[in-house]
């Protein structure tokens, strides 16, 4: 597998074979790939071991692994109970598997909004933990364990948290465990910012560019 050269704009697309056909199969031999797909995820049982959820290895085109948060908390955000050591262990297991197989890993979508915020912004209640305290624990855990992409509608709050964690590590000479980025939804696409490097990335969630 070729080394990935990360530039200021990185475009990630989904799992579909139609996208692979356009962005990889039809690419000129010896040319550069400019769009990268996700490995296929087996969604039958979100609690399954990582090797069952994502059995296919990374390759030149498939560079990342997209996950519903149900892979960590199967009951879903709206019914999630307290954050526990066991849940963090599951999160860590998934991240270690992804990174051990040369994949970036993403989880969607982690919100902690009030009912009024949900109504005003049109956010999905199924993605909502119900409070800022609850979602903050998940954001902190995701950053701590090295999740590469964290999707949230509350991107300003999440971005501020990740930047504060980065500053805290710098002042205490801690080595960060991952490369957490945050995402926000806009017009059907998810925009991401790489917090560590300041490199802005863009992930299209639609069927085409």
**pLDDT tens, position by position, 63-118:** 999 999 999 999 999 999 999 999 999 999 999 999 999 999 999 999 999 999 99
Domain annotation covers residue 6:
no
**Cis bond before residue 115 (omega within 30° of 0):** no
Between the CA of residue 159 and those of 70, 83, 100, 114, 165, what are the distances in Å? 22, 21, 26, 19, 10
- Tell me, yes or no, whether 44 lies in a domain: yes
Q: Which of 94-98, 105-109, 140-144, 164-168 has the lowest mean pLDDT?
A: 164-168
How many independent structural domains does the chain possess? 1
Distance CA 183, CA 194 (A): 9
* Contact of 171 with 188, CB cutoff 8 Å: no
pLDDT of residue 175: 53
Segment 7-31 shows an average pLDDT of 90
Residue 10: what pLDDT? 80
Assess if residue 5 is contained within a domain: no
Helix (H, G, I), strand (E, B) or coil at 92: helix
Q: Is residue 209 pLDDT above 80, yes or no?
A: no
Residue 2's pLDDT band (cuts 50, 70, 90): confident
Domain range for residue 25? 11-203
Residues 183-206 have a mean pLDDT of 37
- For the chain, give the mean pLDDT: 85
DSSP label at 25? Answer: I
The mean pLDDT value for 11-40 works out to 92
Residue 27 pLDDT > 60: yes
CA distance 153 to 113: 9
Name the residue with higher pLDDT: 12 or 198: 12
Q: Identify whether 19 is part of a domain.
A: yes
Which pLDDT value is given to residue 161? 94
pTM as predicted: 0.81
| Highest mean pLDDT (candidates 79-83, 178-182, 196-200, 204-208) | 79-83
């Amino acid at each position: 597998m070729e080394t990935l050269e990360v530039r200021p704009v990185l475009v990630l697309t989904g799992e579909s074979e139609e996208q692979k056909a356009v962005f990889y199969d039809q690419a000129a031999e010896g040319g550069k790939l400019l769009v990268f797909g996700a490995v296929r995820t087996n969604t039958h049982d979100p609690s399954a071991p990582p090797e069952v959820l994502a059995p296919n290895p990374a390759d030149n085109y498939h560079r990342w692994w997209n996950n519903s948060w149900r892979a960590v908390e199967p009951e879903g955000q709206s019914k999630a109970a307290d954050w526990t050591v066991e849940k963090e262990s599951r999160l860590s297991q998934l991240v270690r598997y992804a990174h051990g197989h040369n994949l970036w890993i993403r989880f969607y979508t982690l919100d902690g909004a009030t009912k009024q915020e949900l109504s005003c912004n049109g956010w999905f209640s199924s993605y909502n933990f119900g409070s800022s305290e609850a979602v903050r624990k998940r954001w902190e855990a995701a950053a701590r364990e090295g999740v590469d992409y964290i999707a949230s509608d509350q991107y300003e709050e999440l971005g501020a948290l990740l930047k504060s964690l980065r500053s805290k590590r710098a002042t205490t000479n801690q080595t960060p465990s991952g490369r957490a980025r945050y995402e926000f939804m806009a017009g059907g696409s998810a925009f991401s910012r790489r917090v560590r490097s300041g490199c802005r990335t863009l992930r299209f969630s639609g069927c085409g560019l």
